[in-house]
Amino acid sequence: VYTNNYEIGYEAGQYISKLLKGKGNIIEVRSWGKITAEGERHSGFMDAVNAYEDINVIAEIYGDFKKESAYYLMNDFIKNQDQPVDLVFAMNDEMAIAVANAYEANNMKRPYIVGVDAISGEGGGVEAIQQGKIDASFLHATGGGKIIDLAVKILSSEQVE
């Protein structure tokens, strides 16, 4: 049981391409690039947006999946940017929220911000969307229900596939 991270990235890339109407500058906020899931999300995302010649990923920022790192690096990028940014795609909601906070701290109109996880509850991506901090988040389904069903079958000595 696993999450198809390539598909999450690809679907996010398709959504973003349509949102931008096939044209715009994107910043991608990644982890540190050594996690398989993150690499798969990145590959799917790039495959989707590369289908549009007028969409450009102008920067990759490595926020280590942490709010503090993403905020610090995005804040630095904002202060030194020389190109318009139409959208920021972050590999998780925590970094997406940090991006929104960096734009707010610099009193700048933020671009579209899209994250991944769609975690509900206080401080999660769903709440951030409801508050208007970020624009969208893609659900990172963990497959927990399937794992529990599989464990019950194993413990009940049922045949598993």
Decide the pairing of beta strands 112-117 and 87-90. parallel
Contacts of 94 (CB under 8 A, 6+ apart): 65, 66, 67, 70, 115, 117
- Count CA within 13 A, CB hemisphere, residue 78: 23
| pLDDT tens-place string over residues 60-118 | 999 888 889 999 999 999 999 889 999 999 999 999 999 999 999 999 999 999 999 88
pTM: 0.84
* 18 has a pLDDT exceeding 70: yes
* 27 has a pLDDT exceeding 90: yes
Structure tokens at 149: 């069903």
